[in-house]
Amino acid sequence: MKQSTAKNNQNSKDQAKKMAVTEAILFSKGDPVEIKSLIKFLKISPAKFSQILSALKEKYAQVDSGLQIVEKKNKIQLVTKANLGLLVNKFLGQSLNEKLSAATLETLAIIAYRGPITKAQIEYIRGVNSSFALKNLLLKGVVERRENPLDNRSYIYEISFDFLRKMGLKRVSDLENYEELSQKLSEKVKNGDFSENNSSAKK
């Protein structure tokens, strides 16, 4: 009995240390950090790491903490709390979010809920050319693009960590109606190519 409590003590000490190391790395890096590389560095299982991450988040959830963790896919970033945004900004004197046009916001919404997504798929939903809005979003850094692994003639677009930070979101799924809107209506919409699908289905 005594032995096992000693072991538990050791375990929690170990976990506390790893939590501290994780925090230190996230702080010093500033940028998003890959979870995989943290797991590898700490030499722990993914399950153990998510325990550490939850513990960190719990700590930051306290009112007397000004920090939070933002997540996207397999990366995490240590940032300040969104509800302190205006106050922190007052001190830093950085520029606030500039107003976005309706077209830009529409494009951004489609990327946020449906990304990663191609330009053709965005334009299928909007029914209008979206090059300008996309360029604008890329410039603002709230959207990033990479080559489409399925078709190297096109790019796929998705939201960036800066999007989450500027929107005050911890993760993209915290968006309103994310469950409903992220669901692709049908394969047709996803492919953004009706006519061919239809004709081939009929044959």
Give the footprint of another protein on this chain (CB under 8 A). Answer: 27, 30-31, 68, 70, 77-83, 85-86, 88-89, 92, 94, 96-97, 99-103, 105-106, 108-110, 112-113, 124-129, 161, 164-168, 175-177, 180-181, 185-186, 188-189, 194, 198, 202
CA–CA gap between residue 90 and residue 88 (Å, rounded): 5
Neighbours of 127 (CB within 10 A): 7
The two structure tokens encoding residue 48: 């153990």
**Beta carbon nearer to another protein, 53 or 82:** 82
Sorted by sequence, the CB contacts under 8 Å of residue 115 that are 6+ apart come out as: 156, 157, 158, 159
**Beta carbon nearer to another protein, 64 or 180:** 180
- Rounded to a whole number of angstroms, the minimum distance from the CB of residue 62 to another protein is 17
- Rounded to a whole number of angstroms, the minimum distance from the CB of residue 143 to another protein is 12
DSSP 151: -
- Rounded to a whole number of angstroms, the minimum distance from the CB of residue 134 to another protein is 14
**Beta carbon nearer to another protein, 112 or 134:** 112
CA–CA gap between residue 95 and residue 154 (Å, rounded): 33
- Rounded to a whole number of angstroms, the minimum distance from the CB of residue 173 to another protein is 14
194 phi and psi angles, rounded to 5 deg:
-80, -50
